[in-house]
Amino acid sequence: MSFLPPSSIGILGGGQLGRMFALEARRSGYRVVIFTDEPAGCPAGQVADVEINAGYDDAEALQQFLEEVDVVTAEFENIPDSCLQAVEAVKPLRPSRHAIYTTQHREREKLFLRDRGIACAEFRIIENVAGLEAAVAALGRPCVIKTAAFGYDGKGQAKVGEDTDLSEAWKAFEGHHAVVEQWVPFIAEMSVVGARAVDGSTAVHGCVENIHEHHILDVSISPARVPPAIETQAFALWQAVADGLGYIGTMAVEMFVTANGRVLVNEIAPRPHNSGHYTIDACRTSQFGQQLRAVCGLPLGDASQHTPAVMVNLLGDVWRAELTHPDWSPVLSHPDAKLHLYGKQVAKWRRKMGHFTVLGETVEQALSEARRLQATLPPREG
Ligand code: AMP
């Protein structure tokens, strides 16, 4: 089924990804309704036609939301399954409940990858310290313990080193399922962001090289500085995940590149992704434009990149104080820099407040300009 304006699109979630998607949808004449458990005035709510603020288990509020919308999508994956089921029973949910349910939980995601023969780090699923001991014996040290549910940006993870005491390490995970992963000595982290339409056609934007700081994305470099053989593997992995999930919408797959030229899937994000923000300024159709087309059952656009680009994340750390902006003039006065702010008032430490993208004739040029501008925004004293 396809939807044209002035159809109403419902978005589950109220963060910056929902905001940038809502802006794209409204620019194209759609009506946007946000359902979020955040307080009123959240980043997506600020730019929506309607904002409903209620718990994801609030059946009455959900009913009201479903009456308002023609089609529904999600801007983050940690939505209770009961809510996804209630939505999908009444309205098209794109991506589907199955795709979100599979990828919102590391254990299900890993089992999906294993079932499909999609390359990822070797892993074991465990639920107690005996399981941890067996997993570490099998996978070797170092390795990483990750909570199965609701982890993001490195939260809910612990590295097991040569001297780590396993009973001590397990304490943080007690009572939960966890995934233990073999340590991947990667030479680069990368992601592929792309979209799959209702008819199964796909379009990827390209490979992006990602550099993290404190487990949070810091800089995305696009196109990634990797050989064609790596790109080919990465696109094949993205395609296998998208087809395997019967995916509809924009999806990101985060990957590791190893020294011996292998590419492994790290994580799947069933939504537009931070590492795809450069597409707004550097691609013919952005990740949000593709999400809109896919969710509405329309043909995908040309995803190709027209200009090399580097995106720099702006965390609350670079605000002078929680309510005081830094001096944006170097970024604002740069002819090739595009500043995007998310409408969040309080610049908490490590909170994603915005990003800027720097375009360049070459990726190296964009990177050096991006780093130069980033240096004008030092973090405040912790
Ligand atoms: P994740 O939340 O799984 O994306 O992990 C956050 C970050 O931790 C990744 O971007 C990597 O830098 C690092 N990391 C996670 N898993 C592994 C692994 N198996 N081997 C090496 N580094 C990892």
* Sign of the CA dihedral running 26, 332, 40, 76: positive
Q: How confident is the model at residue 122 (pLDDT cuts 50, 70, 90)?
A: very high
Give, using CA atoms, the residue closest to atom 1 of ligand 1: 154
Distance between CA atoms of 73 and 314, rounded to whole angstroms? 26
Res 160 pLDDT > 60: yes
Tell whether the model's pLDDT for residue 65 goes beyond 90.
yes
- Whether the per-residue pLDDT at 29 is higher than 60: the answer is yes
- What's the Cα-to-Cα distance from 72 to each of 53, 62, 274, 277, rounded to whole Å? 16, 12, 21, 22
Q: Is 29 in the pocket of ligand 1 (CB under 6 A)?
A: no
Angstrom CA distances, 243 to 24, 198, 296, stand at 26, 11, 19
- pLDDT per residue as tens digits for the range 162-220: 999 999 999 999 888 999 999 999 999 999 999 999 999 999 999 999 999 999 999 99
pLDDT at 156: 87
- What is the Å distance from ligand 1's center to 240 Cα? 21
Nearest atom of ligand 1 to the alpha carbon of 146: 3
- Percentage of the chain modeled with pLDDT above 70: 98
Per residue in 272-284, pLDDT tens? 999 999 999 999 9
The pLDDT score that the predictor gives to residue 227 is 97
Nearest residue by C-alpha to atom 10 in ligand 1: 215
Q: What local confidence, expressed as pLDDT, does residue 260 receive? A: 95
Verify whether ligand 1 is closer than 6 Å to residue 267 (CB atom).
Answer: yes
Average pLDDT of the residues in 374-380: 97
- What 3-state DSSP class applies to 220? strand
Residue 149 pLDDT grade (very low, low, confident, very high; cuts 50, 70, 90):
confident
Domain residue spans of the chain? 8-93, 122-182, 186-375
pLDDT score of 151: 60
* Over residues 337-357, mean pLDDT: 98
Q: Quickly list DSSP for 227-280.
A: -HHHHHHHHHHHHHHHHHHT--EEEEEEEEEETTS-EEEEEEESS--GGGTTHH
**Which residue's alpha carbon is nearest to atom 2 within ligand 1?**
154
Ligand 1 centre distance from Cα of residue 159 (Å): 10
Q: Whose CA is nearest to atom 16 of ligand 1?
A: 144
Record the tokens describing residue 151, joined without a space.
């982890």
Query: Of the candidates 341, 217, 202, 224, which has an alpha carbon nearest to the alpha carbon of residue 273?
Result: 217
**Closest C-alpha residue for ligand 1 atom 11:** 215
The mean predicted confidence, pLDDT, of the chain is: 97
Residue whose pair of structure tokens reads 């209620």 in the numeric block: 54
What pTM does this model have? 0.97
Q: Tell whether ligand 1 has an atom less than 6 A from the beta carbon of residue 144.
A: yes
The closest-lying atom of ligand 1 relative to the alpha carbon of residue 254 is: 4
Which ligand 1 atom is nearest residue 185's CA? Answer: 21
Smallest CA-to-CA distance from 224 within 204, 244, 243 is with 204
- Beta bridge partners, 2, equal none
Q: In angstroms, what is the span from residue 179 Cα to ligand 1's centroid?
A: 12
Arithmetic mean of pLDDT, 53-60: 98
CATH class belonging to 122-182: alpha beta
CA distance 365 to 64: 50
Q: Residue 235 pLDDT more than 70?
A: yes
Residue 26 near residue 44, CB atoms below 8 Å: no
Contacting residues for 13 by C-beta, under 8 A, at least 6 apart: 34, 35, 36, 44, 74, 75, 76, 79
181: CA distance to ligand 1 center in Å?
9
What is the CA(146)–ligand 1 centre distance, in A? 9
CA 78 to ligand 1 centroid distance, Å: 19
Sign, Cα dihedral of 291, 293, 297, 299 = negative
Pocket test for ligand 1, best of 122, 144, 268 (most atoms within 8 A of CB): 144
Mean pLDDT of 108-132: 97
Which amino acid residue places its CA nearest to atom 5 of ligand 1? 154
What class does CATH assign to 186-375?
Answer: alpha beta
Distance 168 CA to ligand 1 centre (A): 21
- The confidence score (pLDDT) of residue 154 equals 63
Lowest mean pLDDT among 167-181, 248-262, 267-281, 317-331: 167-181
Q: How far is the CA of 269 from the centre of ligand 1 (A)?
A: 14
Mean pLDDT computed over 220-224: 98
What beta strand segments (E) does the chain contain? Answer: 8-12, 31-36, 50-53, 71-74, 123-126, 143-147, 157-160, 178-182, 186-196, 202-213, 216-222, 249-258, 263-269, 309-315, 337-341, 352-359
Please give the CATH architecture assigned to the domain spanning 8-93: 3-Layer(aba) Sandwich (3.40)
How many angstroms does the Cα of residue 160 sit away from the middle of ligand 1? 13
**Whether the predicted pLDDT of 152 surpasses 80:** no
Say how many Å lie between the first and final Cα of the chain, rounded: 51
Closest residue CA from atom 19 of ligand 1: 183
Q: Please indicate whether residue 258, judged by its CB atom, sits closer than 6 Å to ligand 1.
A: no
Cα-to-centroid distance, 297 and ligand 1 (Å): 34
